[in-house]
Amino acid sequence: MDVTSSLRSLLPYGRRSIGINQLISKLEGYLPPAEIERVQDAYDFAFGAHQGQRRRSGEPYITHPVAVADLLADLHLDPQTLIAAILHDVMEDTPTLKNEIVERFGNEVAELVDGVSKLDQIQFKSRAEAQAESFRKMLLAMVKDIRVIMVKLADRTHNMRTLGSMPPARRRAIARETLDIYAPIANRLGMHAIKVELEDLGFRSLYPRRYKVIETAVRKAKGNQKQFIGKIGDALRSALVKAGIEGLVEGREKDAHSIYQKMRRKKVSLSEIVDVYGIRIVVDEVDTCYRTLGVVHGVYKPMPGRFKDYIAIPRANGYQSLHTTLFGPSGTPIEVQIRTRAMHDVAESGIAAHWQYKDGDDSARTYSERAREWLQQLVDIQQGGNSEEFLESVKVDLFPDKVYVFTPKGDILRLPRGSTCVDFAYAVHTDVGNRCVAAKVDRRLVPLRTPVRNGQTVEIISAKGATPNPSWVNFVVTAKARASIRQYLKNLKRSEAMDLGRRLLNQSLEEFSLNLRKVPAETIDAVVHDLGLRSEEELYEKIGLGERVAPFVARRLLPLDADSVPDTHAGPLAIAGTEGLVVTYARCCFPIPNDPILANLSTGRGVVIHREACGNLATFRKQPDKWISVAWRPAVDQLFHVEIKVEVTNRMGVLAQVAAAISGTETNIDRVSLIERDSDSSMLTFELLVQDRRHLARVIRAIRAMPEVLKVIRSLA
């Protein structure tokens, strides 16, 4: 009797029945006895930790972690991963501490378990934020050790298999999360078998009626398909034998979720999808794949434009295969995949094949490098924004519908479909993206927002002092580009907010004949500490963003013997219109230079400028502490938005005539709308870009001089 057999014989019957026997039987096929004994030790530890706990289905809780390890054993994962799978819930659901796992199983296993554990001890503002933060932690743990996500995917797969015991609302939420996040991650890591099962189980739980309709249609078509695929398979096998090629020819079954997605994507009926047949041919060598392709095309004619070579240019998730679609008997479409055995294993197991092919075929190692390259990008993505933004960014990056674009040196970059030249620039390097000013596609200058297409060569032109344009966020596709732009804008906003906050605080101190230079550093440090902030810079930032009120902070900075009566001769805060992200010009009244103005502090938006006559000011006047006195700086060199309304008689071409009159004053029209009031007259609304009130007055005089114009007024809330 060997060691593992004797271990099983020592287990009480009740514990053997929980599933450890099946797991150990699988491990005997590829692990030495000493490692199996370590897995057994982990089972004993987890069994004791989860003693008395039951799943919602009523089963002992230990069945779940053993089932997760069993799934990973099918992929021939290493013993550390299997131990982590068995222990993956002990830190979350039992009093077990990380130190205990380190002492008994080592730091490597403890880090894997910690990466999978959720953040239940942290208080979040919402459930969505908690899920997003947990997801962020898991993905960043993946960067250190990719086995974290493999345990998590196996955990999610077993949870989906047993989802029936959950309440309907919870079941749908878990299914949605699985389809949105975990199935795409499995796909991104090339773990096709797990991806297909997660999609199938998620689709079944989220759309049970649709699933049933598709499943019924597939089952009805199965009889005919089996006979039809048998004939096609026989024809292809005979042709391969004649050509002296050894290969496995088998039919491929379509799963319900892929059928549903194809129906939606191609806008076709269920019968059109079900009637497409799939064949897979597995051969021994890469060059044999191309020879097989020629043989297959000799048996059935290929459909034009339906051939794809994923061997020469693999998909982003490492998938390699030749794809072709043939005209079968009676014109029936036949989808054929041709690949080597190693490619097939990588296609099914993805990153897990790295553990199976350590000393063999290079394709698994090449894929492993690609996966790690993607994971490294997550570090850049997570630098900016909160957890929920990070989650949304990664979602965009997970779907592998890619285009392949060349750099001027001939290197290939893989980008999501719809990516622009800006996405390409950030894919090259973050600094290239931040400094890009123009782009050439196939040696022709194009706008930066131009989408790139397969096979194009893209060259980015950058300038030393260039900075990202905030509007890029509206059209970039990749998570890295979006995160990099947001991070830059966040830093820019922080810098501007600090500058504005310092000015606001100085203005408030001037009322007491003080300024920040005269306030002792220890006084400022004490106020920073009392307000629960980290630094003097953060205090200025909070004031600039309207989250702290400058007059209140100023009073806390006063010396104890200071006169409490302020100097009422302090001047207003001068603005020039160039403060950017922390000074906002209200769109209810469109203030422009030389207008009498007031400003209020809005949390997160900084200073918001209104005209004194704005109708919306009544709402804010009840909060005098949020108002500050402001004035225009002289010689403001900037254009401002302003809105005017023009009542005109209804005549053909009157809109063009008014627009021409406005253009004659060298004024840009940003937006125009038309509201027909009655059969005789209409009201035109123009949003213009002007320098100041004098500029606006010239525009209004030019419009009033037209005979078709009945009235011109400036909009005011």
**What positions carry a catalytic annotation?**
92-93
SS (HEC) of 669-716: EEEEEEEECCCCEEEEEEEEEECCHHHHHHHHHHHHCCCCEEEEEECC
Dist CA 608 CA 598 (whole Å): 9
Contacts for 507 with CB less than 8 Å, ≥ 6 apart: 550, 570, 571, 573, 628
Contact between residue 587 and residue 641 where contact means Cβ atoms under 8 Å apart? yes
List residues bridging with 643 in a β-sheet.
Answer: 687
Measured in degrees and rounded to the nearest 5, phi and psi for residue 230 equal -60, -45
362-369's contacts with Cβ under 8 Å and 24+ in sequence apart are: 363/318, 363/320, 366/318, 367/190, 367/314, 367/317, 367/318, 368/146
String of DSSP letters for 269-304? -HHHHHT-EEEEEEESSHHHHHHHHHHHHHHSPBPT
Q: What's the rounded Cα separation, in Å, for the pair 519 and 512?
A: 12
Write phi, then psi, for 627 (nearest 5 degrees).
Answer: -100, 145
CB-CB contact of 365 with 351 (8 Å): no
**Residue 646: φ, ψ to 5°:** -125, 120
Whole-number Å distance between alpha carbons of 42 and 7: 13
* Encoded amino acid at 645, one letter: K
**Cα–Cα dist 117/134, whole Å:** 8
Residue 339, token pair as written in the block: 């690949």
Whether 240 and 185 have beta carbons less than 8 Å apart is answered as no
In 10 A of CB 221, how many CB atoms? Answer: 17
293-318 burial: b if 16+ Cβ within 10 Å, else e: bebbeeebebeeeeeeebbeebbbbb
- Burial grade of 377 (CB within 10 A; 0-12, 13-18, 19 or more): middle
Report d(CA 248, CA 254) in Å as an integer. Answer: 19
Query: What gap in Å lies between CA 610 and CA 614, rounded to an integer?
Result: 6
